[in-house]
Structure 1
């Protein structure tokens, strides 16, 4: 099990600026919560007394750059595992298009989390194979023989980009897989990549499906992305919460980069104009306690926009694999979906 902090929208956004304060407050709190007992010992301070400067110097967003996107992967997996129809229907549609003879007419979907970053943990690969089953196979394309999960390619994929020479041309990019998708029989799988920002999508041999949230320039639905060779599955986000979450995340991140004197990410990873104003206000209080900044943000925020929910999410691993002791908790917006017309 893995401890995940979900940010879930409770009320419609009625004023963007106040909504930004609300999300920024929760993200800041989640960052503070991520400090372990050892971290606090190194800082020689109790959690409630951690200052914004201490947090900014200690947190390394570049090192943990997958934190935000990782949370979105968990959210998608949870939606499939929970049989959320507004997610599973789109995923089933995409699967049916990747291999019509195999998946068309299926009555359900299933998923296996992968991600080579996770695969380094003791027992994770064994858990993937165990949950897939002895007869499980990967369908990397529409022709040729499938790959058995209980073979060496999965171990190679866990090594990341360095293993491409070992994987062969048909599954050269399979290491980029975030989740393996199948129907209710969970025997034949297609590899999928998941991104919280569709502009960061990358395709390649072995990958069949891409899952992303809707954006202002990307409408919901399923269609083929010829440039990447992927069946694009765009999950609807009717209230624009994912965009709001991203803006708030980069607002807080911008303040952390400035106060902590950290190297900034590429220019396109920055908040909106209003988000920059949020960051500038946080930057005014480097010596203030994080808790006090939270309280100030709380006063300015829409009080009931966000609820913070801590829960355990299955990682498809045996009971003895305690990933929560080895991983940094992740921040994730919990998808909220509406029926498609």
Structure 2
């Protein structure tokens, strides 16, 4: 037996398990954010900016597109990681630390919002998270670049094919990232692409992690796609995050299609669906930003807290190296 150090990221439940209503309210919030910030900036300028878009105006200002659900999925994954949603955090943490070799215990997410709300949103989001020593791990055999100094360049590269060629070769495709996922305590991050359609997943220099819905249920394992040079992390479906996301998306979509009024019962036949929709209906005269904030107390708050513990354990094999594992107690089913 060999005595080895193991860091256990023990996620202890901080609040009672939410009812189905609270769980879906929690996902409705980032869906509203995704829809709001995907509006064209010139259209939003006509009403005085994003903070002045009333909920009732959202279905009238937006131009429905095939990419709407994908953008909302990105926001939902980002929000779930920041809130430590157990059905998704433990899976992505495993991909991040075991497969992408990111050290640390304090998982976090930065939303790359260049395509949704301009480069300023990206920089403002990252200001409170990144430091001057934050590194982006690309898998290349070289010193990891410092992420913060390239933020503006990455945002500019999204819009300019000419500017993309000016990025260092190791991060040339990083403008395709949707999120930067990493660990605050180690200050190491990876470029992450999030796709609602797994067939649309593409690799690029600088990208290391791909997050997609599971296609094979709970047994859809994390894997390395050699052709794309990506660690692919499927998000669980049945009675888990993806199921909750699609139901919440359906509620919001029916609400918007009803011109921000209560849809007929045939469109939302479940009582809990109509209850969630009603929280939107009664706030239709308020700004979307304020509605998102107002729904926060109704959502499941602070599901988990992290309790990293360094312990000594007996393990088989003399070559065992220190590792990090995650232990949710207990699991929460949405």
TM bracket, shorter-chain basis: 0.5 to 0.7
SS at match of 2:170: helix
Q: Which residue of 1 aligns with 2:270?
A: 302
Q: Which residue of 2 aligns with 1:61?
A: 64
Alignment deviations for residues 7-54 of structure 1 (CA, whole Å, 9 cap, x no partner): x9938xxxxxxxxxxxxxx9xxx7xx9798967xxxxxx998x9xxxx
Summarize the Cα distance change of 1:248–1:297 in structure 2 as closer, same or farther, 3 Å threshold. Answer: farther
Superposition deviation, residue 132 in structure 1: 0.7
> 1:21-170 alignment to 2 at 5 Å?
59-62=62-65, 65-100=66-101, 102-103=102-103, 106-118=104-116, 120-122=118-120, 124-151=122-149, 153-159=150-156, 160=158, 162=161, 163-170=163-170
Alignment deviations for residues 253-296 of structure 1 (CA, whole Å, 9 cap, x no partner): 8xx9xxxxxxxxxxxxxxxxxxxxxxxxx9xxxxx97747x125
SS at match of 1:88: helix
> 1:191-340 alignment to 2 at 5 Å?
191-216=191-216, 219-239=219-239, 242=242, 291=261, 294-297=263-266, 301-305=269-273, 308=276, 324=289
Report how many residues are paired: 250
Summarize the Cα distance change of 1:82–1:247 in structure 2 as closer, same or farther, 3 Å threshold. Answer: closer
State whether structure 2 residue 20 is matched by structure 1 residue 10.
yes
Superposition deviation, residue 249 in structure 1: 6.8
Superposition deviation, residue 227 in structure 1: 2.6
Q: Would you say the 8 A contact 1:223–1:232 is kept in 2?
A: yes
Superposition deviation, residue 212 in structure 1: 1.6
Superposition deviation, residue 83 in structure 1: 2.3
Tell me the TM-score normalized by structure 1: 0.56
- Find the aligned partners of 2:274 and 2:141 in 1 and give their Cα distance: 47
Q: Would you say the 8 A contact 1:9–1:305 is kept in 2?
A: no
Q: 4+ runs of 1 displaced by more than 6 Å?
A: 33-39, 247-250
List gaps (5 residues or longer) in structure 1: 1-7, 12-25, 40-45, 257-281, 283-287, 312-322, 326-333
Q: Would you say the 8 A contact 2:114–2:122 is kept in 1?
A: no
Q: Would you say the 8 A contact 2:109–2:180 is kept in 1?
A: yes
Superposition deviation, residue 218 in structure 1: 8.8
Tell me the TM-score normalized by structure 2: 0.57
Superposition deviation, residue 135 in structure 1: 1.4
Q: Which residue of 2 aligns with 1:266?
A: none
Summarize the Cα distance change of 1:92–1:142 in structure 2 as closer, same or farther, 3 Å threshold. Answer: farther
Q: What's the Cα RMSD here?
A: 4.9
- Find the aligned partners of 1:197 and 1:150 in 2 and give their Cα distance: 30
Q: Would you say the 8 A contact 1:119–1:158 is kept in 2?
A: no
- Find the aligned partners of 1:47 and 1:99 in 2 and give their Cα distance: 40
